[in-house]
Amino acid sequence: MNLHGWLVVWKQPGIVCTRIDRRVKRWLGCSVKVGHAGTLDPFAEGILPIAFGWGTRMIPFLLDFPKMYQFTCVWGRATDTQDLTGTIIRESSVRPSYEAVAQVLPKFLGVSFQKPCMYSAVKINGKPAYTWARKGKILDLPPRPIVIHTARLITEASAYDGHSIEIEILCSSGTYVRAFAGDLAEALGTLAYVSKLTRVSVGPFSSTEAVNVDTVTELCPQDAQQWMYPMDYGLKFPEIDLTQEQTVRLWNGLPLYLDLPFFSEFWVCKYQKKMICLAKGEAYGLVPYRCFVDSRVKKQT
């Protein structure tokens, strides 16, 4: 069985992502490497792409894709974690009108700089920021560039109670929804924290592909193929079919001198319909970048 690819599970609230990784690893076998693309906060829910085998080498590319979140802002209070799990540190009597929120939200579209919350996974001196925060060391995190592609109100005007509002955003990797809610509240002259957070898509994967981890792990891996995706799934790179000789050349770290039809930074190289290498495009051809060596093919040469 070819244990290289992706499994998209639905993370439930209250569960830590690494716990799901360990469970999938035990299910596939201890020798299979497992990792997830994009950590979700413990209180959050939503899709969690799990890479296994050689698929773990594709995680950085999936992280480059936009992600879609749906979340609920509760007005008038700020917590130290910027979500419902934290301690209230400030309060405000201001409750923005529906029209005010609708007018301010589009101003966040495009590129901007966001200051992450101290209770985040941003690394400081090799440790996540939340590790320092829990020790009482509050550090000043530098702003980071983010992109908000789309933003819309899910709550209808007729259903808005002035207490909370539900929003959906499509954003770049590295965007912190809790920090976004705080910035939005500041622009409206009030405070806010996130009471509910759901990730509904990560690049090519959406909630329609997600499956409960209990459902999958009750089966043997051979019977769960319908929920597994190849490691090149969703990559927006052109594909090229290679001969056996060309395949082994890339596996040996040697370039291929090819007349490519157009330039692309990366190419998905396949042999007999299987991805065998992710190569970088150069003026003279292809250079191996990530190789996935099948010893059975290599021995035939």
CATH number of the domain residue 106 falls in:
3.30.2350.10
pLDDT at 103: 97
pLDDT of residue 134: 62
Which stretches within 69-220 are classed as H helix? 98-104, 129-134, 177-187, 213-217
pLDDT score of 127: 59
Q: Is residue 122 part of a domain?
A: yes
Residues 248 and 142 placed together within one structural domain of the fold: no
The CA angle 99-100-101, to the nearest 5 degrees, is 90
**Residue 185 in domain:** yes
CB 45 within 8 A of CB 83: no
Residue 190 placed within a domain: yes
At residue 247, the pLDDT reads 95
Q: Residue 266: give the domain boundaries.
A: 239-298
Q: What residue has token string 């319908």?
A: 226
Phi-psi domain of 238 (left: phi exceeds 0; alpha: psi -120 through 50; beta: other):
beta
234 domain residue, yes or no: no
Q: Which two tokens stand for residue 160?
A: 């808005």
On whether both 139 and 180 belong to a single domain, the answer is yes
List the CATH number of the domain containing 259: 2.30.130.10
Give DSSP secondary structure letters for 82-113.
Answer: SBTTS-EEEE------HHHHHHHGGGG-EEEE
In this prediction, residue 146 carries a pLDDT of 95
Could you please report the per-residue DSSP string of 64-78? TS-EEEEEEEEETEE
Please pick, among 21, 41, 64, 241, the residue that the annotation labels catalytic. 41
Give me the pLDDT at residue 125, please. 57
Q: Is residue 183 part of a domain?
A: yes
User: And the tokens for 100?
Assistant: 């005010």
pLDDT given for residue 30 in this prediction: 76
Instruction: Tell me the C-alpha distance between 87 and 240, whole Å.
Output: 54
Same domain, yes or no: 79 and 56: no
Q: Quick one: pLDDT at residue 295?
A: 56
The number of distinct structural domains making up the chain is 3
How far apart CA 56 and CA 52 sit, in angstroms, is 6
Q: Is 225 within 8 Å of 3 (Cβ atoms)?
A: no
Task: Name the residue among 269, 253, 262, 252 with its Cα closest to residue 283.
Answer: 262
Taking the model in full, what pTM does it have? Answer: 0.89
DSSP character at residue 155: S
Q: What is the pLDDT of residue 1?
A: 59
Are 250 and 279 a contacting pair, CB within 8 Å?
yes
Please tell me whether residues 33 and 71 are part of one structural domain. Answer: no
Q: Based on DSSP, count helices (H) and strands (E) in the chain, helices before strands.
A: 8, 19
**Same structural domain for residues 25 and 120?**
no
CA distance 46 to 10: 5
Q: Are residues 148 and 75 in the same domain?
A: yes
- Backbone angles phi and psi of 169, in degrees to 5: -135, 150
- 95, 138: one domain: yes
Q: Are residues 163 and 49 in the same domain?
A: no
152 assigned to some structural domain: yes
DSSP run (H or E) holding 236: none
pLDDT in tens, the chain (301 residues): 568 999 999 999 999 999 999 999 999 987 899 999 988 988 999 999 999 999 999 999 998 899 999 999 999 999 988 999 989 999 999 999 999 999 999 999 999 999 877 665 666 656 565 665 565 666 667 788 999 999 999 999 999 999 999 999 999 988 999 999 999 999 999 999 999 999 999 999 999 989 999 999 998 888 888 999 999 998 889 999 999 999 999 999 999 999 999 999 999 999 999 999 999 999 999 999 999 987 556 655 4
What pLDDT was estimated at residue 301?
A: 47
Based on the fold, state whether residues 198 and 155 are members of the same structural domain: yes
Answer yes or no: do 195 and 98 share one domain.
yes
Residue 153 contacts residue 184 (beta carbons within 8 Å): no
Statement to judge: residues 164 and 192 lie in one domain: yes
Encoding tokens for residue 139?
A: 């550090």
Same-domain status, 148 and 120 = yes
| Catalytic residue status for 41 | yes
